[in-house]
Amino acid sequence: MVTPFMKAFPDTVRHVLEEIDDKLALELPLSKVISQGPAPLLTACENSQPAIFTASMVILRVLEKNFGFNINDQTDLIMGHSLGEFAALAAASCLSTTNAVNLVHRRAVVMAECSRRQERGAPPPDPIAASFNHPLDPVSASKSTLGMVALLSQPAAQPAMLAEIDKILALPKSASPIPEGSLVQVGNLNSSTQTVLSGHLSGIFALLSHLREYSGHDPHPVRLNITAPFHTTIMKPAEKVVRSMLEQPGVITFPGSKPVVSNVSSREFESAEDVVDLLSRQATEVVNWVGSIKYAKEKRGIRRFIALGPGRVAAKLISSEGDKNDQVYHVAEPQDCEYLMKELGKD
């Protein structure tokens, strides 16, 4: 995840990793989990989310310190998809890197515990009293009853399909096709062709069957490799812990160096209170990524997008909403940094 950068730019990367390890003070430092694994430990929510955040910050710092990238001069707007929203706020200096990774880690621990308890039918955890060094107890994708499923449809069909999903979710229990005890919510509006449902898998597939049989919609379902119902009310304890941490004095700096777009509102954060409210609610509400892209393009005239971090989800989703006038760069490897700076140098 960060090994190529460590080999190429050891001083820059080591500084970021040491800063984060010192802040989290975990029994097994996050840097060792990232570099040594094993895979089940790295992919557990408690570790994967801060690891992804860390990788994003490593790439940003390498761009700044080793390639001369200046986020203040070379960007107009910052946004991040789901977990990436924390990195976006850190990039804009609304959150320090250490405060942001602390938020991400504690949020991830509580989210993982919410999922575990939901699987066992236990009550949700107390977010404030929860242990932040919970022993690893992962639930495999094959055994999990929770998760997220992307529904792929044609752009013209999506608005009517979403309206029908909202109708089904609003039905009383006695009339709902969703099994008793199952929860289903729209978790992400990722693009004009991709809607993500989150919650109990039995309920998600029951809703999908109803859509096909009675509503004339036949989206293609893709189960995501996720065993947690992110962006649903099951994660209410995570919302509470993020809110309580953000409300501590000195955690938020506002305004930051650049405007940041909220996943929940698809508009720029307007105040520190806005950051507290909207970033907290992101744990339980819809990530409106397609709305954020449209805002950037239509309201702010953005035509060049630079996506930093492992994986290509954000870059692909931006590209899917683009046209011939858009430029989308993805930076995940050292050679991507060189290519990006070469392209920016053409202006």
pLDDT score recorded for residue 139: 47
Question: How does the average pLDDT of the chain come out, rounded?
Answer: 93
How far apart are alpha carbons 266 and 287 in whole angstroms?
Answer: 9
pLDDT score recorded for residue 347: 73
Domain architecture of the chain: domains with CATH:
3-136+232-344 (3.40.366.10), 146-223 (3.30.70.250)
pLDDT score recorded for residue 323: 85
pLDDT digits (tens, 9 = 90+) for 263-281: 999 999 999 999 999 999 9
State mean pLDDT over 28-42: 93
Share of the chain above pLDDT 70, in %: 95
**Which spans in 215-267 are helix H?**
236-246
In one letter, which amino acid is 14? R
pLDDT digits (tens, 9 = 90+) for 106-158: 999 999 999 999 998 877 876 655 544 444 444 444 578 999 999 999 999 99
Packed helices 45-67 and 334-344: angle between N→C axes, nearest 10 degrees: 50
Burial of 330 (0-12, 13-18, 19+ CB in 10 A): buried
Provide Rg for the chain, Cα atoms: 20
**Which spans in 9-44 are helix H?**
10-24, 30-36, 39-43
Provide the pLDDT confidence category of residue 311 given band limits of 50, 70 and 90: confident
User: What is the CA angle 276-278-284, rounded to 5?
Assistant: 115
How far apart are alpha carbons 116 and 132 in whole angstroms?
Answer: 14
